[in-house]
Structure 1
């Protein structure tokens, strides 16, 4: 019983610290760094097909959620030893061991548009401009592999198709973030 109370207190303490910290992109903050030396926050993806998300940074803590798809994008918002506090596209937060995370960048196509009605899509275009030919219409929630982003557009791949999507229409790259 004491252990459960202590674990709950520690988990709440971590949650309070995380809620008091800012979640603006690291490049906008002057590259705030976590204990690992890497920027916080930052996007990563799940390495394994089955990943437990815990309420605290240890296997002593209960599993609050289980992800069943490798490549799912996550945002690291806090670090503690070899544990990372992550947030998914729906806003769910929890702790995962760093060994289960990959630096490979993935994204979710407009998760905020999911369930908003019929005929709502994210356009994948041939070139990084709004007038370029549409190669595919992506349903909100589709997971994409990011090849690069230029700050306005991201070159992505999904199910063998490759093209460009507006960076503002994906969760997995910060506004204005450029990388290859």
Structure 2
């Protein structure tokens, strides 16, 4: 009887590791690309539907071109997406772009010359600014916003995963 709790703990540990491995290796059934992943809105207006077809009801309309979105599922030519507020639904893939953007989550966020906090600032970006995403290291990403280029901490950005590295 003394070994029973140890077996239960070991089994729970194996299940947790298996679930984490599956989550890390999840791939879209249509594109074979990682899920979840980030994209941007190609169109200036996109209907967000309750399900993956034109017959499903439109719940709302995204109206911010280049806005980053997270793809969480795929079905045929449809992608289930969510925005920074967690709102989402199904959008036709033709309205999405692989060009990466992020939204600034800190008001007056400094954009630095190099990926270090003690370097000169190029600009300050307001809360909600959409910026083009460039290369990313473990903690910093290079951004292009309003003609200004510089580095920002990942923790202040929505549209890039914490562990994501980009060249």
Give the TM-score band, short-chain normalised.
0.7 to 0.9
Which residue in 1 is equivalent to 2:13? none
Number of matched pairs? 147
Matched, 1:68 2:55: no
Give the structure with higher Rg (CA). Answer: 2
Matched, 1:170 2:157: yes
Match of 1:106 among 101, 115, 121: 101
Which residue in 2 is equivalent to 1:84? 79
Q: Output one character per residue of 1:42-64: Cα deviation in whole Å (capped at 9) or x when no partner.
A: 00001111111111111111111
- Partner Cα separation in structure 1 for residue 152 and residue 38 of structure 2: 18
Which residue in 2 is equivalent to 1:54? 49
TM-score (norm 1): 0.77
- Partner Cα separation in structure 2 for residue 179 and residue 162 of structure 1: 16
Q: CA 1:136/1:177 → structure 2, altered by over 3 Å: closer, same or farther?
A: same
Which residue in 2 is equivalent to 1:19? none
Match of 2:140 among 142, 153, 159: 153
TM-score (norm 2): 0.83
Which residue in 1 is equivalent to 2:24? 30
Aligned-residue RMSD, C-alpha: 1.8
Q: Output one character per residue of 1:116-149: Cα deviation in whole Å (capped at 9) or x when no partner.
A: xxxx421111100111111111111100100111
The offset of 1:32, in angstroms, is 1.5
Q: CA 1:72/1:43 → structure 2, altered by over 3 Å: closer, same or farther?
A: same
Structure 1: 4+ residue segments shifted above 3 A: 26-30
Q: CA 1:169/1:27 → structure 2, altered by over 3 Å: closer, same or farther?
A: farther
Q: 1:27–1:177: 8 Å Cα contact kept in structure 2?
A: no
Q: CA 1:28/1:164 → structure 2, altered by over 3 Å: closer, same or farther?
A: farther
- Partner Cα separation in structure 2 for residue 141 and residue 158 of structure 1: 12
